[in-house]
Amino acid sequence: MSYKAPLKDMLFDIKHLANIDQVAQMPGFEEAGFDTAEAVLEECAKFNEGVLSPLNWEGDKNPSSWKDGVVTTTPGFKEAFRQYVEGGWQGLQHPADFGGQGLPKTIGAACGEMLNSANMSFALCPLLSDGAIEALLTAGSDAL
């Protein structure tokens, strides 16, 4: 079973329900209007459909494991995670001051939905990083 991102629906929601062009009027989000959202979601769909979705069944057959102090990942996950990082997907909605892309969470949420739908097992990998980033941003000291 393959995954096909519901881009038409997501873009309708971002434009008409979330009013992304109004979000783009907020300081710091001036470059994050509908055209940006559309471009990001289209690329995100390509990554999830072409890279992560094909690994979904592999993850079910060969899940990551821990044995004798060694982690063995699902075949293909290491390369997929490298592509995920190189594509900047982890930092999509995080501040540019810290290496993120600084896009609105509206765009990040749509990309997160694709990630979870294409391959939930893989999606768990960056999930904890997002939580740590949010914790540091909201409660971390300057030293951290």
pLDDT at 1: 67
The mean pLDDT value for 84-111 works out to: 94
pLDDT reading at 78 higher than 70: yes
Map tokens 């290491």 to a residue: 78
In whole angstroms, give the CA distance from residue 78 to residue 75.
7
More confident residue, 1 or 75: 75
Task: Output DSSP code: residue 96.
Answer: G
Three-state secondary-structure class, residue 99: coil
Query: Which pairs with CB-CB distance under 8 Å and at least 24 residues apart come from 81-84?
Result: 81/122, 81/125, 81/126, 83/47, 83/51, 84/47, 84/126
**Average pLDDT score, the chain:** 94
Q: Confirm if 74 and 64 have CB atoms less than 8 A apart.
A: yes
pLDDT at 74 over 70: yes
pTM of the full structure: 0.90
Measured distance CA(31)–CA(28) in Å, rounded = 8
- Domain annotation for the chain: domains and CATH numbers: 7-139 (1.10.540.10)
Q: Is the pLDDT of residue 3 over 80?
A: yes
